[in-house]
Amino acid sequence: MGLTSHTVLALAVLLAVVLFLGTVLLWPRLSHRSWRSVSGRVALLLATQLLLFCAVGLGVNRSFGFYASWDDLLGREQTEGVVTEQAGPGGAARTVHAVSAGGLTAPPGARPDSLGRIEKIEVVGRDTRIASPAYVYLPPEYFQQSHAGRHFPAAVVLTGYPGTAEALYKGLRYPQTAYQLAAAHQMRPMILVMLRPTVAPPRDTECVDVPGGPRTETFFARDLPRAVAARYRTEKEWGIVGDSTGGYCALKLAMHHPDVYRAGAGLSAYYRAALDPTTGDLFHGDQELRYRADLLWSLDRLPPPDTSLLVTTSRQGEYNYPDTMAFLGKVKPPARVASIVLDSGGHNFNTWRREIPATLQWLSARLSE
């Protein structure tokens, strides 16, 4: 029985109810002060609370899709994703296999020209006046004398909401994976600019230029690349990748600004701007702005952008699967689209770590074209 199955959830709820009723019925018999009675009461209370916790946890996991299977929950699901290029006119689908991504541990006193460096910077938008911290991963080649003066491909890496930028290198291990892939000659050395899409905290602006509010889309499309390019040796065209909310932002920015973002990848992305208490009113009655923030609507009604897109999902455990399949079917040339479809995987770090190696390899190839 799968972790997200109705049977498992129903069984957990049934057992919790039975144990609760059993506790009520047996409690008078265990009212004595003997060690057996006390132990029995403690055992019943602990077992009831444990089953209630399991039932609630299974229900929450089923609703939000954090884990897709028992192996996913226990961290045993390690099969990495592969990128499948969607067939274009007269072409066949092509699969690109990812290499295994090992760990990257910098020894004390390690020089940046051997393992690279992560720098924390403050990005202040010249046009939007939005300020946000970011972490910049510079590959070891950036510091090597043989590459002095060389410009490097760059990619923005976004978390979900609310997320922390630190999670991108501590939990999702983007720099470590990029280092291993580059060392294995599976991708070009790349600069990674890691930050949250939440640049007006605590509000989730969904990377929208909110009327009368934060101009988040302009910050990511104009201010951020310009500010980073002024400080580091980056190539002109960028890539962008993110998970969940960050994945939605990555796809939208690549579609809306193909002159800036040559490629965009959305891991477990959704395709319409969320509207809830964390976002507030993003559109202020502007129906055109609302439609523009709907990626499926945009693919149907707007000219296709000249950019490359990558979407990821899972057949079991991801609730974006139907919309992802619809997205893949709507992309038209000159836009290009590829996908990573896992057999199972939830909305969580373990799933995204399985997809990141192939995603970075795909992104590097798109920025090398």
**DSSP string computed for 54-70:** HHHHHHHHHHH-S-SSH
pLDDT in tens, 99-155: 223 334 444 456 788 889 999 999 999 999 999 999 999 999 999 999 998 999 999
Q: What whole-number distance in Å separates Cα of residue 238 and Cα of residue 230?
A: 14
Share of the chain above pLDDT 70, in %: 84
Most confident range (mean pLDDT) of 4-8, 68-72, 249-253 is 249-253
Q: What is the pTM of this model?
A: 0.77
Does residue 196 come out as left (phi exceeding 0), alpha (psi in the -120 to 50 range) or beta? beta
68 or 245, higher pLDDT: 245
Strands (E), the chain: 83-85, 94-96, 117-124, 131-138, 152-158, 191-195, 234-243, 261-267, 308-316, 336-344
User: pLDDT category, 13, cuts 50, 70, 90?
Assistant: confident
Q: Quick check: 180 pLDDT over 70? A: yes
Q: What whole-number distance in Å separates Cα of residue 239 and Cα of residue 237?
A: 7
Q: Quick check: 69 pLDDT over 60? A: no
Tokens of 123: 């990005």
pLDDT in tens, 193-248: 999 999 999 999 999 999 999 999 999 999 999 999 999 999 998 999 999 999 99
- Position 90 scores a pLDDT of 35
- Position 368 scores a pLDDT of 80
- Position 65 scores a pLDDT of 44
21 or 278, higher pLDDT: 278
- Position 92 scores a pLDDT of 40
User: pLDDT category, 27, cuts 50, 70, 90?
Assistant: confident
Choose the weakest-confidence range: 49-53, 197-201, 340-344, 354-358: 49-53
Q: Residue range 47-72: average pLDDT?
A: 65
Q: Which of 264, 266, 294, 300 is nearest to 282 (CA)?
A: 294
Q: Quick check: 308 pLDDT over 50? A: yes
- Position 89 scores a pLDDT of 42
316 or 45, higher pLDDT: 316
pLDDT, mean over the chain: 85
